[in-house]
A and B are shown apart, each in its own frame.
Chain A
């Protein structure tokens, strides 16, 4: 009867897998397995492929039927029922089956049911050749569903595990748990519930007074001694070491110690409450209670950090902006045209900033005032493009998202002031590493010329301490350059607002600053003379061009800055009345831009200008003339940005509490010193502006807060510029550009 199985011609359809020979099967009983029976009509020809298909189906049937009820008819005609627990598909003659808990269903020819039943054990193995027919009922063929189910379960499991892992990862490697993690593991949820009122006992001694009743000063020691005889036995030597007063050098040491102690204690108010506390400085604790100070942990740590980081990122963006663009951009920013260009370029720039940030990495955060100096100094001023048209579209035009610029500036201003003060007092407590010395020297060389040449010195700021030696030369130069730069035109507001930000090299480099020598002085004079520089640039260009063509190169003398068109309306009106939304602003600006483009120059000149501007940018950043011809690729630009960024060794920030943070915040804006006139770019919603810089402060960020306090306090000598900043801030808030002008006047 093997034919039954070997023929594989069975009806598996439906849920009732009745594997019965059926009439057809018995008809083919004589066929030998595998080969298609010769007797059958050749309508059905089994090649190996087809038979394999059938085999698979059979296998599938059996696999699914394991564990289900089966009725097997053996060759004797007897029928057995039982649980099918195993089948052997490999046997040559039919299929061996194993039935668990077999029962005799039909004895066929013999009536001896008992006898057969007696012979049965727990399991019954029927050899393949004995199986005549196998009937399987209610086989579940929906394995697909099962499979899917199990798959889904698996998937869920995996997801859960992944989640757990992620969770653990985010809570520190190897799952160092925070308090909430520990709590979360299998504790019942604590719900809000009705609290039971405490009721005083009837016969209680009646203490019916509040804390504040009958309050008054009291001395705990005397009261406790009087009432309870408590006397103090405290002596610090239980806890700490003794001072050796017998030392022969004691007097000397004593004096020295006193001197150092005074020095430390006179360091003034720090940004950090704990430092102030330990120095015995009474400082504003900003409403922190003792839980905040000594026990509680600020949960916002992470968010705060994130906020600071994002702030710093913004800062970085702006910083790099600074390096690439400068006052030129800023002053023009008041012009709707520039606004449009900047909005258009926004994304692109974001990207470039991103890149730059990546490359600069951490160094950027360490940015210090030096970098700030480099940005927005006269190099750019001198090179202001007369015809800005094409350059607006060049990638180097780094429009600023000036939104949060102003507030940053104010904070930073204060910080810089503080840093300055600090650095003047501070002595580097360890030796400067050898390799740093070189850098220090170099950067001093490079940096020095850039330091003063702002119009600052013209502004009268009594709060700025007179700087010794090197500082003086700086000032002198400043004046000179200044006079060159001063144009009859009412200077753009930005420059004036920058005037309050005066810094001196020595304040950052301490005593190690090199005073500029004559060579550098010469270079200084030359490099910052816009006429000389323009000529040089022109010559360079000419030389380049001459090799290719004989075209005459137009000679550009760049105004140090660009006088931006002011608003057509009066101050009282917000730009928003003119540009109801950003889009209109952009459109209009673009129109303006095009017009100017056409008016100002032909295409060739424009290209040249672009080049030149590029050179300017780089020169600015690198602190020495690179010549306009120097490959002005964006690549280079980025590089220059880097170079501009690398800072002279500045140990102070490390020791100054929260200084690194301050730097990062500072990095945020243009670096305080730089004249950022349009701190508030008109196209940004003011709300954002005020929000962004506020972030670190509202968090009580240690670096920022005291500054803010100081600023709000307004006008100690320390924050000499306070009044200005506030005004600036105010004006910016209220009516964009015009405020600058007013400010200028005030500054003058």
Chain B
């Protein structure tokens, strides 16, 4: 295939038209082609909607490809994930049936998300990426490791257990990646990490990424990194695109205040943070009572439920998500434009990561902190640590500060549906386009109810399942056996066909979030 051939055949998603800040635009002007990546990888990158590398990607990809250890910091949502996934995919050799890269993250949801990025970017590379975290069936994970796995994404505890039993063979795993490295090197995780490192070959390459480094990781650097290349792209800690306000309220007023915010703000999707699992559940209930769709998530829930919540919220099925700090770090949901700290966090890095859930990839976002009397010193403290002063919330907030003009281009994360449903989407998109409304309208409960009535779903859904041809899934590196329609219908519960055929194109697009995986390089 010539150059033109393969580029013209790419299925690029709709371009995200929202304005971006210098946090992601201030590059040297390199392109992905400049890194001499293999074509399959480039295809995956472009089909994921990436156009140009972000600053952190520009800095780290060549260095990582050269084989050096990296310690990098860049702001929330400026493309760190892709900055290590791209070199990982470039380095993994699909023909070798061994775990060649290990990616460690602190939470299970983040593991899922990271794995999904690997699978999306690497869908033409024939790389098989597996997630292993706690809370899932351990036996299944052990069985999965019988198959080919090239990239293992997981949380440290489970990985250590698998590695120490030799279930996961890390002896050829020459690439070790840590996302949210400051957390991973915090004392509770560090002991596990250091034990995992024993199973890696001595000459492995390490890539460490995070947006915050409240403490130095020098000790770890000296001990485990070999001449690390340090990347620091931050002159300030907070994102340029996020406007922060506080609302000084009494504890009892918080709910009232929140309701006011909901009615005044043009919320596309919002994440609300509480400080205890109990309050998470209580608040989520109140929000549904107020008439807004709302999921909640925290670490004391069953993992299956957590996954469900995470997945659906990413897909834009619900408007608000109430959660604990479980989802503070790394979670990337493009459509989130408002983050509310219903309870104020204790530490600056938590604050930074929380508000970094909006304003992804240089886009605009709003962060609102409900401050009660007891929180005020914490507010000062965190302001001091971040070097920003948070202003009181004005009576009206300028929409240009956080609302996208054309929400239709805001991408949902999920690539798999799109890629397995080319024809249907292409047919449906034009029809749906005119219906795009403003997000405020589109998220009314009615539109959900209309779009997702059960009637329309079943027949097409199953048909779609049949249409899931091997082409659709093969490049994702799934085992060949898994590709027969039989296996799919067996293996996948109804949820997928439905989502693929009907639920996504209609339901989501009508809500102003297009089905395209238009994700820019925001991982």
Mask, A299-327, CB within 8 Å of B = 1, is 10110110000000000000000000000
In contact, B299 and A294 (Cβ under 8 angstroms): yes
Question: Which A-chain residue is minimally distant from B215 (CB atoms)?
Answer: A301
Instruction: Give bound CA distance, A658 to B354, whole Å.
Output: 29
- Restricting to B198-224, which residues have a CB under 8 Å from any CB of A? 198-199, 212-219, 221
In contact, A183 and B215 (Cβ under 8 angstroms): no
Question: Which A-chain residue is minimally distant from B478 (CB atoms)?
Answer: A242
A263 within 8 A of B: yes
A235 within 8 A of B: yes
In contact, A297 and B503 (Cβ under 8 angstroms): no
In contact, B187 and A301 (Cβ under 8 angstroms): yes
Binds B, one of A167-175, A544-552, A671-679: A167-175
Q: What is the distance, in angstroms, from B439's C-beta to the closest C-beta of chain A?
A: 15
Instruction: Give the residues in chain A near B318, CB-CB below 8 Å.
Output: 224, 228, 230
A215, A239, A253, A301: residue with the most chain B Cβ atoms closer than 10 Å = A239
Instruction: Give bound CA distance, A429 to B251, whole Å.
Output: 53
Instruction: Give bound CA distance, A258 to B235, whole Å.
Output: 51
In contact, A182 and B106 (Cβ under 8 angstroms): no
B63 within 8 A of A: no
Of B187, B216, B235, which contacts A702 at CB under 8 A? B187
Instruction: Give the residues in chain A near B158, CB-CB below 8 Å.
Output: 278
Binds B, one of A267-275, A374-382, A450-458, A740-748: A267-275
In contact, A200 and B253 (Cβ under 8 angstroms): yes
Instruction: Give the residues in chain B near A246, CB-CB below 8 Å.
Output: 481, 487
Q: What is the distance, in angstroms, from B184's C-beta to the closest C-beta of chain A?
A: 10
Question: Which A-chain residue is minimally distant from B305 (CB atoms)?
Answer: A221
- Asked, given contacts A242-B478, A278-B134, A290-B324, whether A301 binds B139 with beta carbons under 8 Å apart, the answer is no
- Restricting to B345-387, which residues have a CB under 8 Å from any CB of A? 345-350, 352-354, 371, 376-377, 379-380, 383-387
Of B260, B328, B504, which contacts A291 at CB under 8 A? B328
Instruction: Give the residues in chain B near A183, CB-CB below 8 Å.
Output: 236-237, 384-387
- Asked, given contacts A179-B212, A297-B347, A301-B186, whether A207 binds B290 with beta carbons under 8 Å apart, the answer is yes
A180, A198, A233, A247: residue with the most chain B Cβ atoms closer than 10 Å = A233
A196, A264, A299: residue with the most chain B Cβ atoms closer than 10 Å = A264
Q: Majority SS of interface residues in chain B?
A: helix
A238 within 8 A of B: yes
In contact, A702 and B387 (Cβ under 8 angstroms): no
B405 within 8 A of A: no
A110 within 8 A of B: no
Mask, B468-499, CB within 8 Å of A = 1, is 00000000011101100001000111011011
In contact, A655 and B195 (Cβ under 8 angstroms): yes
Mask, B233-254, CB within 8 Å of A = 1, is 0111100000000111101111
- Restricting to B114-169, which residues have a CB under 8 Å from any CB of A? 115-116, 119, 128-140, 142-144, 146-147, 149, 155-158, 160-167
- Asked, given contacts A233-B495, A291-B345, whether A297 binds B393 with beta carbons under 8 Å apart, the answer is no
A462 within 8 A of B: no
- Asked, given contacts A224-B295, A232-B308, whether A277 binds B349 with beta carbons under 8 Å apart, the answer is no
In contact, B325 and A295 (Cβ under 8 angstroms): yes
- Restricting to B279-315, which residues have a CB under 8 Å from any CB of A? 279, 281-286, 288, 290-291, 293-296, 298-299, 305, 307-309, 311-312, 315
Instruction: Give bound CA distance, A192 to B307, whole Å.
Output: 41
Instruction: Give the residues in chain B near A591, CB-CB below 8 Å.
Output: none
Binds A, one of B35-43, B45-53, B445-453: B445-453
In contact, A294 and B195 (Cβ under 8 angstroms): no
Q: What is the distance, in angstroms, from A511's C-beta to the closest C-beta of chain B?
A: 17
Instruction: Give the residues in chain A near B311, CB-CB below 8 Å.
Output: 232-234, 238
Instruction: Give bound CA distance, A304 to B495, whole Å.
Output: 48
B455 within 8 A of A: no
A654 within 8 A of B: yes
Instruction: Give the residues in chain B near A227, CB-CB below 8 Å.
Output: 288, 291, 293, 445
A108 within 8 A of B: no
Instruction: Give the residues in chain B near A279, CB-CB below 8 Å.
Output: 134, 157, 161
A111 within 8 A of B: no
In contact, B107 and A294 (Cβ under 8 angstroms): yes
Question: Which A-chain residue is minimally distant from B498 (CB atoms)?
Answer: A233
- Restricting to B326-345, which residues have a CB under 8 Å from any CB of A? 326, 328-329, 345
Q: How many A-B residue pairs have CB under 8 A?
A: 393
In contact, B347 and A209 (Cβ under 8 angstroms): no
B428 within 8 A of A: no
Instruction: Give the residues in chain A near B215, CB-CB below 8 Å.
Output: 178, 297-299, 301-302
B192 within 8 A of A: yes
Instruction: Give the residues in chain A near B279, CB-CB below 8 Å.
Output: 211
B257 within 8 A of A: yes
A197 within 8 A of B: yes
- Asked, given contacts A183-B385, A297-B347, A301-B186, whether A239 binds B452 with beta carbons under 8 Å apart, the answer is no
B426 within 8 A of A: no
B416 within 8 A of A: yes
In contact, B299 and A290 (Cβ under 8 angstroms): yes
A177, A204, A230, A267: residue with the most chain B Cβ atoms closer than 10 Å = A230
Question: Which B-chain residue is minimally distant from A270 (CB atoms)?
Answer: B157
B256 within 8 A of A: yes
In contact, B259 and A243 (Cβ under 8 angstroms): no
- Asked, given contacts A264-B138, A296-B349, A297-B214, whether A233 binds B448 with beta carbons under 8 Å apart, the answer is no
In contact, B147 and A429 (Cβ under 8 angstroms): no
Instruction: Give the residues in chain A near B295, CB-CB below 8 Å.
Output: 220, 224, 230
Question: Which A-chain residue is minimally distant from B279 (CB atoms)?
Answer: A211
Instruction: Give the residues in chain A near B149, CB-CB below 8 Å.
Output: 241
A119 within 8 A of B: no
Q: What is the distance, in angstroms, from A657's C-beta to the closest C-beta of chain B?
A: 5
Instruction: Give bound CA distance, A294 to B167, whole Å.
Output: 26
Of B142, B255, B349, which contacts A261 at CB under 8 A? B142
B263 within 8 A of A: yes
Question: Which A-chain residue is minimally distant from B298 (CB atoms)?
Answer: A290
In contact, A176 and B71 (Cβ under 8 angstroms): yes
In contact, B325 and A291 (Cβ under 8 angstroms): yes
- Asked, given contacts A172-B217, A211-B286, A260-B165, whether A293 binds B144 with beta carbons under 8 Å apart, the answer is no
In contact, A275 and B371 (Cβ under 8 angstroms): no
A218 within 8 A of B: yes
Question: Which B-chain residue is minimally distant from A232 (CB atoms)?
Answer: B308
Question: Which A-chain residue is minimally distant from B129 (CB atoms)?
Answer: A241
Question: Which A-chain residue is minimally distant from B142 (CB atoms)?
Answer: A257
A140 within 8 A of B: no
- Asked, given contacts A177-B232, A178-B216, A290-B325, whether A296 binds B161 with beta carbons under 8 Å apart, the answer is no
Instruction: Give the residues in chain B near A429, CB-CB below 8 Å.
Output: 163-166, 199
B230 within 8 A of A: yes
In contact, B214 and A299 (Cβ under 8 angstroms): yes
Q: What is the distance, in angstroms, from B357's C-beta to the closest C-beta of chain A?
A: 11
B112, B135, B329, B387: residue with the most chain A Cβ atoms closer than 10 Å = B387
In contact, B157 and A275 (Cβ under 8 angstroms): yes
Instruction: Give the residues in chain A near B371, CB-CB below 8 Å.
Output: 195
Of A215, A220, A244, which contacts B479 at CB under 8 A? A244
Q: What is the distance, in angstroms, from A306's C-beta to the closest C-beta of chain B?
A: 11
Instruction: Give bound CA distance, A17 to B478, whole Å.
Output: 96
Instruction: Give bound CA distance, A518 to B146, whole Å.
Output: 47
20 CB-based A-B contacts, threshold 8 Å? A174-B230, A183-B237, A187-B388, A200-B257, A224-B318, A229-B452, A242-B479, A242-B482, A243-B140, A244-B146, A261-B138, A272-B192, A274-B156, A278-B158, A294-B106, A295-B347, A296-B186, A297-B215, A302-B215, A302-B216
Starting from the known contacts A172-B230, A195-B371, 15 additional A-B residue pairs (CB-CB under 8 Å) come to: A183-B237, A195-B376, A207-B290, A211-B283, A242-B482, A257-B140, A273-B188, A274-B189, A275-B192, A290-B324, A297-B347, A299-B215, A301-B215, A302-B216, A658-B191
Closest 4 CB pairs of A and B: A278-B157, A278-B134, A187-B387, A233-B499
Interface residues of A (CB under 8 A from B): 170-174, 176-180, 182-185, 187-193, 195-198, 200-201, 204-212, 215-216, 218, 220-221, 223-224, 227-244, 246-247, 253-254, 256-258, 260-261, 263-265, 267, 272-280, 289-291, 293-299, 301-302, 304-305, 429-430, 654-658, 660-661, 701-703
